[in-house]
Amino acid sequence: MEKRAELLISNLVLGQEPGLAVAILREGTILFKRGYGLTDIRSGYPVDTRTNFRLASLTKQFTAAAVMLLVREGKLAYETRLTDIFPDFSEYAQEITIRHLLTHTSGLPDYENLMPLPDPGLPVEDQQINDYQVLELLKGEKQGKFRPGTNWDYSNSGYVVLGLIVEKVSGLPFGTFLKEKIFKPLGMKATVLYEKGITEVENRAFGHTRQDGKWVVRDQSRTSATRGDGCLYSSVEDLALWDKAWREGTFLNQEEMNLALTPVEVSGQRPIEPGGSPAAYGQGWFLNPWKGQRRAWHYGETAGFRTAIHRFLDSGLTVIVLSNREDIDASRLALNLAEIFLNER
């Protein structure tokens, strides 16, 4: 199995290119973990299993978990309304609840479509939008996409707002809450919510894209400063600890995990995978099965990075792929690796 996995990955990444890290576990036991390629073509440092990649939308499962902790503490309820937290939203948001935000059924407008047009004369980093600016854009809208709870539409806006809710309700900066309530208890020492000028990322991988046949660093976009929807950095080593906590129920209890892994039901548009196939979604996890295997999974895509985690709930297999190059389909690679290890026990 290891040889087949090695061959599959080595054909994708040459030694002096941006790379990826992979971890494959069964019931918490490491079956395969390797790093490939470079963290940064400028430094030439090799990727290893402790390299920290931008997680992009894999961040959402941590944002959802933070909300669940506040519900456990009695500081929030799933039926708490958005306007209970931020009363100055316009009328369209009156029916939106925490549950709607978690399950992408809120109907909030996409903040990416509300941003001003980019200025080609300014660096991307100087045009980044932050969470509070997102909140003001959303407050300024007069209507949502649909009535909350009737349709499903993947919403970065909803998870940016959830991060702000965690911050306001807990009284802690969002990154501090994640560190103190999730990362430290689980031993995820390297995982960090990156905020320029506030936090640093150790063993950092930088994102890359290919232009005119050459690799160039492309590490930031205008939406890279928002937090709850995609700002975490982590390694496959730390994400293995995250998976272990879910497997063993040491972080969330069974009732909480069941809630997170229960697909939302709507009468209108249903969840779809990136490729357009029907899917299912809970709280921070896609939940549609693959080849008869129940799974909880997610993908992440942002400037210079592609990421995926697939947890197969019956077999105990988990595959994690983190890449700092845009030409890797991390989710497809994870499934190809899963097929090797699921078929050969």
Report the C-alpha gap between 193 and 183 in whole angstroms.
10
Q: CA nearest 286: which of 305, 262, 250? A: 262
Q: What string of pLDDT tens digits covers the 345 residues of the chain?
A: 788 889 889 889 987 999 999 999 999 899 999 999 999 999 999 999 999 999 999 999 999 999 999 999 999 999 999 999 999 999 999 999 999 999 999 999 999 999 999 999 999 999 999 999 999 999 999 999 999 999 999 999 999 999 999 999 999 999 999 999 999 999 999 999 999 999 999 999 999 999 998 999 999 999 999 999 999 999 999 999 999 999 999 999 999 999 999 999 998 888 988 878 889 999 999 999 999 999 999 999 999 999 999 999 999 999 999 999 999 999 999 999 999 998 765
The alpha carbons of the chain give a radius of gyration, in whole angstroms, of 19
In eight-state DSSP terms, residue 182 is I
- Element housing 319 (H / E): strand 317-323
The CATH number that applies at residue 317 is: 3.40.710.10
**Residue 284 vs residues 117, 123, 231, 275: alpha-carbon distances, Å:** 30, 32, 15, 19
Residue 162 · residue 47 · CB < 8 Å: no
Report the C-alpha gap between 262 and 257 in whole angstroms.
9
- As a 3-state breakdown, the chain gives helix, strand, coil percent values, each rounded to 5, of 35, 20, 45
Q: Could you tell me the two tokens for 59? A: 């961040």
Residue 319 · residue 337 · CB < 8 Å: yes
| Chain Cα centroid distance, residue 296 | 13
Report the C-alpha gap between 328 and 14 in whole angstroms.
13
Residue with tokens 């730390």: 238
| Structural domain span for residue 312 | 2-343
Length of the chain equals: 345
Ramachandran category for residue 99: left, alpha or beta (phi over 0 → left; psi -120 to 50 → alpha)? alpha
Q: What is the pLDDT, as a whole number, of residue 156? A: 98
Residue type, 230: G
Domain count, the chain: 1
Q: What is the pLDDT, as a whole number, of residue 345? A: 54
Q: What is the pLDDT, as a whole number, of residue 344? A: 65
In angstroms, how far is the first alpha carbon of the chain from the final one?
Answer: 9
Phi, psi of 163 (to 5 degrees): -60, -40
Q: What is the pLDDT, as a whole number, of residue 267? A: 87
Report the C-alpha gap between 119 and 127 in whole angstroms.
8
